Every structure is written in structure tokens, then in C-alpha cells.
Structure 1
Amino acid sequence: MKTYIILVAGYEYHHGRTNMATICKRRANVLLDQNSSWQNNSNIKFVLFDVRFGRIDEGTPNGTGIDWETHSEEYDAINDSVHYSSERHFIQQDTNVISIADAYDFIRNIGKNNLGHVYEFSVVGHGWRGGPVLVNSYQREAYQHTGVTPRLRDPWDKDGRRKDTNTTNMNFTDWVDFINAFNTDTRIWIWGCAASRLYKKVIQEVYNSAEFSRKRYGSHIDTDSFSLTFSRAFAEEHFSYDPLFFYRSRTTGDITNRRFTRTLREIKDFLIRGLCHTYSGQMAYNTKTNVYAALPGTGADYEKTGRSDKRVMVVPTNTSVYGYSFAAIVRFYKTYLNLQEDPERRGYAKFDPEMIKIWKGR
């Protein structure tokens, strides 16, 4: 039986020179280092979906590294003049460019045909809290949350969506096949950003409040209250995302009250709703698999330290290295929501399926 590592390399659509497939291969090198028994083991299969070149490559350990060879070239390579608008949006059209759904299909085939199990499913590229961004595609109106088929994936869409694992997009048989490819060792890594200003700003307001500074860090209790202040521009753009927190109502939308107090319990519940509503939270909950991903309000960057052939991505927590840091945001989540950091200490968080289940049941 084979052990599969599924690596998906998104496209650097910002005209950058970064080759995500190279970073995926570095990830493969890291995993090979972590698992000494994989050396020279032909049952270990690295499978790389290279969106940029429309290619699937397979890698096999050779005792000193990994031998890579092309497995399939059935997809179309990215062509900027064909696939992108001047705003760098993936043009809404029917294309043969690799989709994240193609990686799901590959995983389902592993489970369906009892070929082995998936040790890691990694998606390297840009992202947001709604899912990994492979090409910066946008759903057509009918498939958006206000459309007539909001639960269905747009077949022209290439990026990851929270709804990917619901019953509309994976029927019972497909779902059983998908899950059968996983076991207790399986983990999922979503390497891109989740840099929503919504969550970052709320945490910053808590930090900046006079009430927070009056007590030792970590000693605050759920009934403690904090004064929060938001600009009109922020309110107009973000308050509607969580009316229960910003308005204390699911229906009222008055942004004139932009200075108010909230208890730590209310702030934690706001963050919990955000965590559960992420792609990573939904994927962890549905697959019952640990997912490692950036926390809402934090971003990811390309790793700048360590051996160059093993540099992947991190959530920056060291200003001297990256020029900026999300350490304070990560620390708040870890301290007040008891979230664990990823086992490689890269600044990502562990989306624990049992914790998500408890949160969803509140």
C-alpha cells in the first residue's frame, strides 16, 4: 500500500516570479527529512499539481532525494493574455486549467480503489479565510451566496471554497471515497494568508483598550469588558459580516454606534464564529482531520531562514526577519481561545476537528 503526499501549487497571478511548484518540492524535502523511513521507499508517492504549467508530477524517494517525473499533461498551462483581466482577475470562462476539485478527485480515487492513504494534503499559494487561492477566480453570480445555487461549486471556478465538502458538491459515494483516503496520520496544510482586517482590527482594539492593560496578560476573564472604537469606513465595510457582535442583533444595521463595550466572552464568540466559518475550519470539521492554516487576521509569507531547499511558508512572527509580525494576533488566539500552534512552529494554527465540533454545537 502506498502513502501519498498531495501537493497543490497555485499560480502567482500578481506577476510575481515565485514558482509555487518549487515551494511544493521544498515541502516534499521537509517531509522526507521528517520521515527517515521514507528514504528509498518506492511506496512513498509525492503528487504535485502544478497549476501554472497544467501538469501533474510524481516524485519517488531515491535514497538521497526525490526523483520527479511528469505523470500527466492533460491540463492547460496558464496564459496571462487568455486567462486574466487587466485587474489580475481570472476571467470567468470554461477552461481546462487545474482546479482544486481535480486534487479532490485524485484523493477520491485513492480511497475508491484502496490504493493507500494520504499522509498530507498541502495547498501552497495565496489565500484568504474563505479558502486557498489557486488562480484568483471568482464565482459567477448564480453560485454566490446570494445566487440561486449558492451551495453548488461553479464549474468554472478553480479556487478552494468553504462549500467544497458539503453534500451538494460531494455526494455520499464521493464523500466515502474521499474520507477513505485519509487515516489518523493524515493532516491538511493550507499555506496561504487569512489576512482579514475584520478580525485583526477587533483584536487590536482589545489590546489598545484601557481595560485590557489594567490586568496581567492572560488573566482576563469572560466577564471583563473592553471599550472598542471603529471608524465609519470600517463599519460600513465590515459590520455586516457579524451583526451579532457589532449590532447585538442579526437584523439591525445601524453603524452610528461605533464605540461600544464587549465582554471577553463576546469577543471570543466573535472569533470562534470566524474560525468555524473559514475553509480550514469547515474542512477540519467535515473530514475530522487536523488542518494547519493561518488564523483570521494573519498573513503568510515565503520562508526566509533555514536551508534554501527546505524553505516553504510561514506566518511572520519576527519583525527583524520579515519587517512585520503577526505575533500579537497569534498570541491572543493561543491565550484566550486555547488554540495550538502548528507542530513545526511556523505561526499557523491547528484547526482541531473536535474543538470545531464543540464550537459549532454551542
Structure 2
Amino acid sequence: MKQFILVAGVDYEFKGVDFRVFCDNRMKRILLANRVKEEMTFKIFDFRRGEVVTHDITYPGGKQATKTTKLTPSPFKSISRANYDRSVSSSGETDYRFKDGQRNTMSILDIYNEVQHIGASAPGTLFELSFFSHSWIDGPILVNSYDDGIMYITVPPSTTPMPFVLPSGMRDPDDMDPRAAKDFISPTMNTTALNNFQKAFHGRGYIWIWGCTFPLPVHEILVKIEHHPSYKERGLTDDVVFKITNFNAAQADFLESWIKTELGGPFPDKKKIEIKFKFLKYFFCKVTRASYTYHIARNAKVKAYGGLMGTYSVYDSGSLPLMSVHKGFVRHFNFYKNYLGFAFDPEGRMYGEYKPGFTCTVPRP
């Protein structure tokens, strides 16, 4: 039986988005396309409601039958504004940060555990793992928690929680969101757990991260490269020199921080940067390999669809809406396709296809 795991994060901006709707729509779309009437199981993890709902789809006598079960009682508490610390920035923007010390809500670890369970009990049956949520370079933002590396514990007879600095590489138990640098290594995943994580997926299985991947400096730098007189959408050779005079200080610093070692040192003059195209390509390749989408693809050993660095997603309209990458990033799409070898998702939503073996060749000066 084909299995699908669909995850709905929390709209921590509280602007009225219910990511559970996208999970339900995804299931409905897959079933509409199931013309051969294969039996399927959909397990939906809803972070906001604290619900785990399973839909078992069978076709007795050729007619679709659905058995829906809810994990009851749920071990997970629902999430509302009360779970967040609210702050207002100087620009008037409201920020909601998941409060520390809340360990009774759903976590990314629960998703990993479900995948590992499939790998141990029904290997090769997981066809899709999808995350519908806000997102950034380090993956889905399921609740907007923080990894501050500090855990508060109470040691009797004292009743006052005391801070405890966590060892390097250990996940913060107050953190419910993914962390690429910690999630696929011990102690979060030992060898057996990682092996089961990989075994869960069918040979045609995949992961899909539907949110944004929009580090603003990456987008800004790419826009300026795309509008540079030396740039071509295809066929540009590695040794073409770009003379860049329109980077602001933050953009120059950001680019330098990623490739200073490969360049052999800092830029001599950040207001007049001279750099070969191969180093610019390497910068975007290196940023891409730092992303959670790449890390989960590499560790699951299956392809993962996700936004390319410097792009963001929008909500669809029409029947059974999902999410897509904003179509205004055509030049970005062409850059990643022509210079980093990216393909795109099969549904035309313009999510990049991150392959487990994606590599970056370090350029020589």
C-alpha cells in the first residue's frame, strides 16, 4: 500500500492561513489522479490542532472507500497565540516567537519517527513526505521555535528553573522546528534510525517542502548579477570577469563571507569587486548545499522538491489550491537550470529538484 505523510505547520504570523487545508487538498488531488485505484494511506500531522489523522483508502468492488481514524487521545496539545511571545519591531511589524519550555506540542521529531517507523515496518512504501508551512533556508517553520542551546531544568528542592547549556550537536528540547545541522546525526538520529529513515521511501518516493526559501541577500545578489552587462542567461564561461560596483556593504559582506576562503582572502575593494563567474556560481551552489532541502534529500537518499535559494512561494487560487513558487522569478529559474543543473517539479510549480548527490566543484583562482 502506498503511504503519504502530509504535514501542516502553524501560521505563526496569524494572518488566517490554515495549512491543514493544503494537506487535505493534496490528498484529494492524489486520489483524483489515482485512476488505477491503488490502495493508499494518508497520515496528516496538524501542528496547530495537535491532531494526527489517518485516511486509509481502499476500492472494494471498484468503488472508493475511506476509513478515517484520529489518534485519540492525542499526545499533542493544540497551538494558539497563547503559545507565543509577541513583540513589535521598530518598523511596526509584529513577531510571534514560540515560548520556551513547551514540550507537549508536536515536533519535527514526531515526523522523523513516523518515517522511521515506516522504514522498519513497511520499507519502500512511502511515496511522499510533504511539508505545508512557512519556510526558510533551514527548512519548514512548523511553529517558529528557536534553538538557543539552553534548556531550563529544576533540581529539587529548588523550584526555580536553572539554565543548562546543551552539548554541541544536541537538539534543544524546546525547539520543534527542523535543524539541518543536527537532525540527521547522533544523538538525534543514530545509524539505525537514519537507515530506517532511508528505507521508508519507495524508489520513486520524494520529499516536498512547499514554503519559501528566500534569504534576501541571495535574491538581491542574484538580481544584480542577472542585470550585469556581462551576464547571459546561458552559455557564460567560468572565466568571464564581473566588475561589480553596485553591491551595498551588506551584499558585499555576505558574498565575501561565503567564498573568502576559495578566493584566497577578502575583496581588496568591496565597492569595486572583480570576480570570475565561476566563483559566483560556486557561491550559489554553496548556499544551496547549506539548505535544509538539500540536507534532507541527501540523508533520505531521495529527491526533494523545494524553493530555489532566493525565491518564495505563493498560495494558489481555484479548485483544490496548493502552493507554487512565484512566477516572477523566471530569471532565477534559468540561472539555476543553466548554470547549476537544476530540474523542476513535475507539476510545473517551479520548485527546484534537489538531488541527493548534488555537489559543488571548488573553483581554482
Q: Please tell me the TM-score bracket, short chain as reference.
A: 0.7 to 0.9
* Pair 1:346-2:349 in alignment: yes
What secondary structure does 1:57 align onto? Answer: strand
Aligned positions of 1:285-300 closer than 5 A: 285-300=298-313
What secondary structure does 1:105 align onto? Answer: helix
1:7 alignment counterpart:
6
Residues 256 and 219 of structure 1: CA distance in aligned 2, closer, same or farther (over 3 Å): closer
Residues 15 and 155 of structure 1: CA distance in aligned 2, closer, same or farther (over 3 Å): same
The unaligned stretches of length 5 or more in structure 1 are: 318-324
What secondary structure does 1:88 align onto? Answer: strand
* Cα RMSD after superposing both structures: 2.5
**Partners of 1:38 and 1:61 within 8 A in 2:** no
1:313 alignment counterpart:
323
* Pair 1:93-2:101 in alignment: yes
Offset, 1:183: 2.5
Give the counterpart of 1:231 among 248, 261, 276: 248
1:248 alignment counterpart:
263
What secondary structure does 1:301 align onto? Answer: strand
1:16 alignment counterpart:
15
> What is the distance in 1 between the residues matched to 2:120 and 2:259?
43
- The structure whose residues are more often helix, as a share, is 1
Offset, 1:3: 2.1
What secondary structure does 2:12 align onto? Answer: coil
Q: Deviations over 1:229-257 (max 9, x none)?
A: 31124445x34641428x9346x5x7962
* Pair 1:221-2:226 in alignment: no
> What is the distance in 2 between the residues matched to 1:360 and 1:287?
22
Give the counterpart of 1:326 among 326, 329, 333: 329
- The structure whose residues are more often strand, as a share, is 2
* Pair 1:169-2:188 in alignment: yes
When normalised by structure 2's length, the TM-score is 0.84
* Pair 1:194-2:195 in alignment: no
2:142 alignment counterpart:
134
Q: Which residue identity does 2:83 align to in structure 1?
A: V
Offset, 1:190: 0.6
Q: Which moved more, 1:333-342 or 1:120-129?
A: 333-342
> What is the distance in 2 between the residues matched to 1:133 and 1:344?
23
Offset, 1:287: 1.7
Q: Which residue identity does 1:334 align to in structure 2?
A: K
The unaligned stretches of length 5 or more in structure 2 are: 88-94, 152-164
**Partners of 2:135 and 2:212 within 8 A in 1:** yes
What secondary structure does 1:175 align onto? Answer: helix
Q: Which moved more, 1:99-108 or 1:329-338?
A: 329-338
Offset, 1:115: 6.6
What secondary structure does 2:44 align onto? Answer: strand
In the TM superposition, structure 1's runs of 4+ consecutive aligned residues that sit over 4 Å from their partners are: 62-67
Residues 255 and 157 of structure 1: CA distance in aligned 2, closer, same or farther (over 3 Å): farther
What secondary structure does 2:337 align onto? Answer: helix
Q: Which moved more, 1:193-202 or 1:27-36?
A: 27-36
> What is the distance in 2 between the residues matched to 1:65 and 1:261?
64
Q: Which residue identity does 2:139 align to in structure 1?
A: G
Q: Deviations over 1:134-164 (max 9, x none)?
A: 0111112359xxx863422212111112121
Q: How many residues align?
A: 336
Which entry has the higher C-alpha Rg, 1 or 2?
Answer: 2
2:157 alignment counterpart:
none
Aligned positions of 1:74-113 closer than 5 A: 74-86=75-87, 87-113=95-121
> What is the distance in 1 between the residues matched to 2:10 and 2:257?
29
Offset, 1:116: 6.0
Residues 66 and 18 of structure 1: CA distance in aligned 2, closer, same or farther (over 3 Å): farther
**Partners of 2:249 and 2:270 within 8 A in 1:** no
Q: Which residue identity does 1:83 align to in structure 2?
A: Y
What secondary structure does 1:339 align onto? Answer: coil
1:321 alignment counterpart:
none
What secondary structure does 1:59 align onto? Answer: strand
Residues 65 and 268 of structure 1: CA distance in aligned 2, closer, same or farther (over 3 Å): farther
**Partners of 1:341 and 1:349 within 8 A in 2:** yes
Q: Which moved more, 1:99-108 or 1:174-183?
A: 174-183
> What is the distance in 1 between the residues matched to 2:251 and 2:276?
21
Q: Deviations over 1:303-354 (max 9, x none)?
A: 12x4x22x1110010xxxxxxx222211211121121011111010000113
> What is the distance in 1 between the residues matched to 2:129 and 2:356?
16
> What is the distance in 2 between the residues matched to 1:165 and 1:202?
31
> What is the distance in 2 between the residues matched to 1:280 and 1:185?
17
> What is the distance in 2 between the residues matched to 1:65 and 1:292?
30
> What is the distance in 2 between the residues matched to 1:360 and 1:256?
26
> What is the distance in 2 between the residues matched to 1:255 and 1:9?
47
> What is the distance in 2 between the residues matched to 1:82 and 1:338?
42
Residues 255 and 142 of structure 1: CA distance in aligned 2, closer, same or farther (over 3 Å): farther
Offset, 1:36: 2.1
